[in-house]
């Protein structure tokens, strides 16, 4: 088992999601998660980063009028992933400086999402289904932090 910390920072743009998935999947694979678990961790992180890019970093104006990005602001919209690995788990913290999203009130219930008009919250359903622990916090200095943990099965 490899122990350590890894930091990955990308601009908050969807084009970087493929890179983020590759890095996260490679780390999960190398530290010993089976393929099935690697795929779940990869998807949970992709969904979390997508939520940041498409929801947390979208301004009130963008939310109201559709899907226009303020390109000039993207330098201020980073996606930051901190990965920590120890003997029992992988912890992935995703930090953003946008409006944030708190998944704590959302129960993993597919039926509810399928019945709803908006499919946006499906991502939170995925994160909560695939990770063992999901915790959200907001700190004025640090920003919004979503911490996702997956334990090695013994």
Partner 1 sequence: MIGCEISTRTFDLGTRIVQVVDVSGFLDAHTSSQLENTLNSLVEAGDYNLILDLKGLDYINSASLGLLMGIAKRVRPQGGDIRLVNLSEKINKIISVLGFSKVLKLFDQTKEALTSFK
Q: Write down the residue that tokens 């201020």 correspond to.
A: 76
Distance, in Å, from the CA atom of 59 to the CA atom of 37, rounded to the nearest integer, reads 34
Distance, in Å, from the CA atom of 152 to the CA atom of 87, rounded to the nearest integer, reads 8
CB of 75 to partner 1, least distance (A): 19
Q: Coil, strand, or helix at residue 87?
A: coil
**Residue 80 touching partner 1 (CB under 8 A):** no
**Residue 63 touching partner 1 (CB under 8 A):** no
**Residue 17 touching partner 1 (CB under 8 A):** yes
**10 - beta bridge partners?**
79
Which of these ranges, 1-9, 26-34, 42-50, 135-143, lies near partner 1 under the rule CB under 8 A? Answer: 42-50
**Residue 96 touching partner 1 (CB under 8 A):** no
Distance, in Å, from the CA atom of 21 to the CA atom of 13, rounded to the nearest integer, reads 13
- Between 31 and 53, name the residue whose CB sits nearer to partner 1: 53
Q: Which listed residue (21, 29, 82, 97) binds partner 1 by CB under 8 A?
A: 21
**Residue 110 touching partner 1 (CB under 8 A):** yes
DSSP string, 66-93: -S---GGGGGG-EEEEEEEE-SSEEEEE
Q: Which listed residue (69, 91, 120, 137) binds partner 1 by CB under 8 A?
A: 120
Integer angstrom CA distances of residue 150 from 30, 97, 146: 14, 24, 13
Binding site for partner 1 (CB under 8 A): 14-15, 17-18, 21, 35-36, 39-40, 42-43, 46-47, 50, 53-54, 110, 113-114, 119-120, 122-123, 125-126, 129-130
């Amino acid at each position: 088992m490899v122990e350590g910390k890894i930091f990955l920072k990308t601009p908050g743009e969807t084009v970087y999601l493929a890179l983020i998935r590759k890095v996260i999947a490679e780390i999960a694979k190398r530290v010993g998660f089976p393929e099935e678990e690697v795929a779940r961790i990869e998807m949970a992180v992709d969904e979390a980063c997508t939520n940041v890019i498409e929801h947390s970093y979208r301004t009130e104006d963008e939310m109201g009028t559709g899907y226009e990005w303020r390109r000039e602001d993207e330098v201020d919209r980073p996606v930051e992933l901190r990965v920590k690995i120890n003997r029992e788990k992988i912890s992935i913290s995703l930090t953003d400086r946008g409006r944030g999203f708190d998944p704590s009130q959302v129960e993993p219930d597919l039926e509810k999402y399928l019945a709803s008009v908006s499919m946006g919250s499906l991502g939170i359903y995925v994160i909560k289904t695939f990770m063992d622990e999901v915790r959200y916090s907001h700190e004025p200095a640090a920003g919004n932090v979503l911490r996702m943990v997956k334990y090695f099965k013994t």
